[in-house]
């Protein structure tokens, strides 16, 4: 890369200040009042890296890039210099302030003149570097990153050095693709890249033909996009209600070339940056944060909920662990389940009763829950108790919750008189709400003569239900003796048996809620959907998986959301399509675990029926056009196999029955780096409020089931129109850093 020797000087040949820095000199480095040591500093030949000797044997040379410098400050301006030096050396002091979290470098020169020269020379070279043209900058940047990565300074790049280079230029690349590109560029088969081969490598890495075409259509100002060109693109393609001001903000934020930025232009590199960041993604940026009203009653929200939260794996022999609670809570789960049993040494334990799952202490779970409950969401956490304990150990449960959770535990209704409705998530911020059995009505809080008729309640919870007998004969309900202390902390979520919608409407208070096994709930959702919606406009419903799902698999939550059920509990420990949908459902609204139901599902007289779909405000017939254009760096499914993936993309729509649909592209053989599909699909969506869209990328296999490469789900109403990148998540819901899909989306009103 000989030509770049000059790029290193970036047009400052023979400059006195540059010469001064290249020669270098001694400076006193100040770390504390007692630690002041002389160090020799100089600018390296690349004119971009400062070198200084260090007396640590491990680090005989230390360097930092001029790029990392935020500012150079003359005088005793830093905390360190003010604290550790005297007034009289002020003129000889200066500090180098770094970007990010790196500590300042505090220095003292031998004279005031010398200090001035260091400061002005550094500022000059830095500002000069920042003003390079994009072309020079790219060359210079590649050259310098190469130099740094070229550990043995032989101007050749081995594959390992190339990896360092990619980390430096902050390009996310999957190892397999780096290797593939390396082979492509190593024309001489030497196992090294040199000169033009390196630039070829960089070109292949950042090449996006499909974006060249889009950029070319709108870049009408001397081959670049002016702010007007960019605005045209935002209005016509992205269908955004944007202004020139919005276009200028994007240029300021994403343009990489300072000269273009000065002209208020966006280069193709800047355009690509924009398309890969928040504003260019599929999810509406306005939906990413809190955008919903959080002051409605609690039962007006869908609430992200977990079942058997204590399990790490399956429910027959899997380990129980407090770690499982942490994982669920970090995914913004807002209702966790505790199966409580008598422990052998007097302390209640949590595990899956009558099975070989391991046991954990109740109090350890409560401690964990307290620590992690509000890390990702400040809205209330519901603790759902399934209680199989003796009265003695129930008293301990109440004591542990009261002492560990303290004032955050809700122990009485909010307000001075008997409530007639739920408080809102906003009212309950940072609070723990217990769901469980209660011996009496809530009115007891407000009346002097509280008469307890009985100290036991019917035990009609999940574990008591025997799968097989359930249909045959009504069994004798077993009774559970309930400790008064535990009963008293159940306020807004009192568990009661469900005896039909009519009974619930006439005889149950708003805070009395039922749990439904998935089969029963799905039956109600099919046969009496509208009655279920009206029921949920007043009360809470919790749905849980049937006991025969011993592998902890999940049921489809969508039909239950469609009938307004709030607490649709899934096995968070089991990666599944159903869990992907759950994560997608709660991803908007700041991932806080609460999503406001549409208005027609909050109305006790609602006429909405998701199955018959009569006319009403819910019916907003839309046409969704999706073009699957390309994929970027799709990971290999089997790291061990040498095979490259054969990717295909499926677009799935979930929602009311009329909206459920899926379509799939052809497969592309042996290309995960930049597959191009360019396939167009069209969907009809009748109830967009309840619809979800899921993108699935699979590795095609002719002999067995396709393997999942990545997926992404989000609510239909959170889609942005236009050219968008779709991030991809693993089956565990984690982002795959370098992978994405590039799509074009258009939602139109049906004529």
Catalytic residue among 307, 388, 400, 744: 307
* Residue 670 annotated in ligand binding: yes
* Residue 47 annotated in ligand binding: yes
* Residue 56 annotated in ligand binding: yes
Cα(350)–Cα(365) distance, integer angstroms: 8
Cα(216)–Cα(218) distance, integer angstroms: 6
Cα(589)–Cα(596) distance, integer angstroms: 9
* Residue 347 annotated in ligand binding: no
* Residue 43 annotated in ligand binding: yes
* Residue 46 annotated in ligand binding: yes
Phi, psi of 389 (to 5 degrees): -95, 160
Catalytic residue among 140, 265, 352, 725: 352
Q: Which residue has the tokens 């007692």?
A: 34
* Residue 308 annotated in ligand binding: yes
* Residue 426 annotated in ligand binding: no
* Residue 644 annotated in ligand binding: yes
Phi, psi of 60 (to 5 degrees): -70, -25
Q: What's the CA dihedral at 168, 173, 174, 176 to 10 degrees?
A: -90
- Find the angle CA(644)-CA(649)-CA(654) to the nearest 5 degrees: 145
> 477 forms bridges with which residues in the sheet?
none
Contact 712, 737 (CB under 8 A): no
* Residue 437 annotated in ligand binding: yes
Contact 738, 172 (CB under 8 A): yes
* Residue 618 annotated in ligand binding: no
Considering only CA atoms, which of 244, 233, 220, 236 is closest in space to residue 274?
Answer: 233
Contact 493, 435 (CB under 8 A): yes
* Residue 199 annotated in ligand binding: no
* Residue 468 annotated in ligand binding: no
* Residue 652 annotated in ligand binding: no
> 458 forms bridges with which residues in the sheet?
479
* Residue 639 annotated in ligand binding: no
Within 10 angstroms of residue 423's Cβ, the number of other Cβ atoms is: 20
* Residue 41 annotated in ligand binding: yes
* Residue 36 annotated in ligand binding: yes
C-alpha distances in Å from residue 576, one per residue of 101, 551, 732? 39, 12, 8
* Residue 176 annotated in ligand binding: no
Q: In the annotation, is 10 catalytic?
A: no
* Residue 55 annotated in ligand binding: yes
* Residue 4 annotated in ligand binding: no
C-alpha distances in Å from residue 230, one per residue of 235, 245, 255, 723, 743? 9, 11, 12, 13, 19
Question: How far from the centroid of its chain's Cα atoms is residue 516's Cα?
Answer: 30
- Which helix (H) or strand (E) element contains residue 366? helix 362-372
Considering only CA atoms, which of 105, 141, 97, 101 is closest in space to residue 123?
Answer: 97
* Residue 443 annotated in ligand binding: no
* Residue 54 annotated in ligand binding: yes
* Residue 699 annotated in ligand binding: yes
Can you tell me whether residue 38 is helix, strand or coil?
strand
- Find the angle CA(143)-CA(167)-CA(729) to the nearest 5 degrees: 140
* Residue 561 annotated in ligand binding: no
Burial of 260 (C-beta count, 10 Å sphere; 0-12/13-18/19+): buried
In this structure, what token pair is assigned to residue 579? 């869990």
- Report long-range pairs for 604-610 (Cβ below 8 Å, ≥24 apart): 604/534, 604/537, 604/538, 605/534, 606/530, 606/533, 606/534, 606/537, 607/530, 608/530, 608/533, 609/529, 609/530, 609/533, 610/529, 610/559, 610/562, 610/563, 610/656, 610/657, 610/687, 610/690
Cα(503)–Cα(55) distance, integer angstroms: 82
* Residue 435 annotated in ligand binding: yes
Can you tell me whether residue 666 is helix, strand or coil?
coil
C-alpha distances in Å from residue 289, one per residue of 377, 586, 591? 12, 11, 8
In this structure, what token pair is assigned to residue 93? 């002091």
Q: How many CA atoms lie within 13 A of 417 on its CB side?
A: 1
In this structure, what token pair is assigned to residue 78? 């830093």
Within 10 angstroms of residue 103's Cβ, the number of other Cβ atoms is: 10
* Residue 387 annotated in ligand binding: no
* Residue 495 annotated in ligand binding: no
* Residue 34 annotated in ligand binding: yes
The three-state (H, E, C) secondary structure of 522-570, written as one string: HHHHHHCHHHHHHHHHHCCEEEECCCCCCCCCCCCCHHHHCCCCCEEEE
* Residue 9 annotated in ligand binding: no
* Residue 67 annotated in ligand binding: no
* Residue 48 annotated in ligand binding: yes
Q: In the annotation, is 307 catalytic?
A: yes
* Residue 31 annotated in ligand binding: yes
* Residue 700 annotated in ligand binding: yes
**Annotated binding-site positions for substrate:** 29-56, 435, 437, 515, 542
Active site residues: 307, 352
**Annotated binding-site positions:** 29-56, 308, 337, 339, 386, 435, 437, 515, 542, 644, 646, 670, 699-701
**Annotated binding-site positions for Ca(2+):** 308, 337, 339, 386, 644, 646, 670, 699-701
């Amino acid at each position: 890369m000989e030509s770049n020797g000059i790029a290193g000087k970036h047009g400052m040949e023979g400059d006195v200040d540059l010469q001064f820095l290249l020669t270098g000199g001694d400076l006193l480095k100040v770390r504390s009042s007692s630690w002041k040591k002389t160090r020799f500093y100089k600018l390296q030949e690349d004119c971009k890296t400062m070198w200084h000797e260090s007396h640590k044997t491990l680090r005989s040379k230390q360097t930092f890039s001029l790029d990392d410098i935020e500012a150079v400050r003359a005088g005793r301006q830093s905390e360190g210099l003010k604290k550790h030096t005297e007034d009289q050396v002020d003129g000889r002091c200066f500090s180098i302030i770094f970007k990010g979290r790196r500590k300042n470098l505090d220095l003292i020169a031998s004279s005031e003149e010398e200090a001035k020269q260091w400061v002005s020379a550094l500022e000059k070279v830095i500002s000069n570097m920042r003003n390079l043209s994009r072309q020079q900058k790219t060359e210079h940047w590649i050259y310098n990153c190469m130099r740094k990565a070229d550990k043995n300074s032989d101007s050749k790049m081995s594959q390992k050095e190339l990896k360092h280079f990619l980390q430096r230029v902050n390009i996310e690349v999957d190892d397999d693709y780096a290797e593939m590109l390396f082979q492509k560029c190593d024309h001489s088969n030497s196992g090294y890249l040199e000169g033009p081969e390196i630039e070829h490598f960089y070109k292949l890495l950042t090449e996006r033909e499909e974006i060249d075409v889009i950029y070319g259509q709108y870049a009408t100002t001397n081959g670049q996009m002016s702010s007007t060109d960019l605005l045209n693109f935002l209005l016509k393609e992205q269908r955004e209600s944007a202004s020139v001001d919005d276009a200028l903000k994007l240029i300021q934020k994403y343009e990489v070339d300072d000269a273009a930025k000065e002209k208020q232009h966006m280069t193709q590199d800047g355009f690509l940056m924009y398309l890969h960041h928040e504003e260019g993604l599929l999810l509406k940026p306005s939906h990413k944060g809190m955008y919903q009203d959080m002051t409605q009653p609690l039962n007006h929200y869908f609430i992200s909920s977990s079942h058997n939260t204590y399990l790490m794996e399956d429910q027959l022999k899997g380990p129980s662990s407090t770690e499982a609670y942490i994982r669920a809570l970090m995914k913004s789960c807002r209702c966790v389940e505790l199966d409580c049993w008598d422990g052998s040494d007097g302390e209640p334990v949590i595990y899956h009763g009558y099975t070989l799952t391991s046991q954990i202490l109740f109090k350890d779970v409560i401690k964990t829950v307290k620590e992690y409950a509000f890390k990702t969401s400040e809205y209330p956490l519901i603790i759902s108790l399934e209680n199989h304990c003796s009265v003695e150990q129930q008293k301990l449960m109440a004591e542990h919750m009261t002492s560990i959770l303290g004032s955050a535990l809700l122990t009485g209704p909010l307000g001075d008189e008997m409530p007639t409705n739920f408080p809102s998530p906003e009212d309950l911020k940072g609070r723990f709400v217990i769901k469980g059995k209660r011996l009496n009505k809530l009115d007891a809080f407000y009346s002097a003569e509280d008469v307890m008729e009985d100290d036991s309640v019917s035990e009609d919870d999940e574990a008591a239900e025997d799968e097989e007998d359930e249909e045959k004969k009504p069994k004798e309900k077993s009774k559970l003796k309930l400790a008064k202390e535990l009963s008293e902390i159940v306020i807004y979520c009192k568990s009661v048996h469900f005896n039909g919608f009519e009974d619930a409407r006439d005889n149950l208070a708003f805070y009395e809620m039922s749990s439904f096994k998935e089969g029963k709930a799905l039956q109600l959702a099919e046969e009496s959907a509208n009655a279920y919606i009206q029921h949920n406009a007043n009360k809470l419903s919790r749905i849980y998986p049937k006991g025969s799902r011993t592998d902890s698999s999940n049921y489809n939550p969508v039909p239950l959301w469609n009938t307004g059920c709030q607490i649709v509990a899934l096995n968070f420990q089991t990666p599944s399509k159903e869990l992907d949908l759950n994560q997608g459902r709660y991803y908007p609204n700041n991932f806080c675990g609460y999503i406001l139901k549409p208005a027609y599902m909050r109305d006790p007289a609602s006429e909405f029926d998701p199955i018959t779909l009569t006319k009403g405000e819910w019916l907003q017939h839309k046409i969704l056009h999706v073009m699957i254009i390309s994929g970027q760096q799709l990971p290999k499914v089997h790291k061990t196999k040498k095979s490259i993936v054969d990717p295909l993309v499926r677009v799935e729509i979930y929602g009311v029955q009329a909206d459920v649909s899926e379509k799939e592209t052809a497969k592309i053989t042996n290309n995960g780096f930049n597959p191009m599909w360019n396939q167009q699909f069209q969907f009809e969506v009748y109830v967009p409020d309840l619809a979800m869209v899921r993108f699935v990328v699979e590795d095609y296999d002719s002999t067995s089931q396709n393997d999942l490469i990545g997926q992404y789900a989000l609510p239909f109403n959170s889609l942005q129109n236009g050219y968008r990148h779709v991030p991809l998540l693993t089956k565990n819901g984690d982002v795959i850093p370098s992978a994405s899909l590039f799509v074009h989306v258009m939602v139109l009103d049906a004529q």
